[in-house]
Amino acid sequence: MRVLSKFKSMGLTLFSMCLISLMLFSCGSNDNSTTPGQAAEGVITAKVGGVAVTTLSMATFASKVQNNLHIQGNTGGTSAEAFTFIVLNFNGAGTYPIGGGANISNSASYMKTQVDLSNPANSKTETWQAPYDNTKAGEVTISEINDSEVKGTFYFKAQNVNGDKSIKNIESGSFNVKFTK
């Protein structure tokens, strides 16, 4: 009887530990993090030089006029970062190269603005543009598009056009953006 009681006690303990473990490991997080290639609704996200950047949903939009697609987003604040994509001759879901020989009609840019609150005239904006030569600088892939939103991924290499000609690698980018009405 004592042996049976010990087994029941051990079984109950083991069952409790398994239940607690299951609850801990199955609980999701609500921190709005996403897997690569899946931006949260309403934003653009990417790694710029290895550092994650995510735009604000209220400052991110897309528009489509005839066969031209425009996607733009901004992080806001006194140290703002922004992404802009323009795809000309857009014809639906698919991959659109940025640059590469004669294909310079599609472009992407990354901007960084630093506002000097003590002297706003001393604020600084830098823009990294792609393409910046005849080589392919990256791609924008539209995975889903309908009347209300556009989703996809991107990467590109851009050159600072305002000054030092430095290069920025924009990687692991994704967007899930509503169209403006």
Q: Which residue has the tokens 């051990």?
A: 10
Which of the residues in the chain have pLDDT under 70?
Answer: 1-37, 102-104
First to last CA, the chain: 75
**131 cis-preceded (ω within 30 degrees of 0):** yes
Determine the Cα–Cα distance for residues 165 and 173; give it in Å rounded to an integer.
22
Strands (E), 8-135: 43-48, 51-54, 60-65, 68-74, 79-87, 94-99, 107-114, 124-130
Domain limits, the chain: 38-178
Identify whether the C-beta of residue 157 lies closer than 8 Å to the C-beta of residue 137: yes
- The pLDDT tens digits for 57-74 are 999 999 999 999 999 999
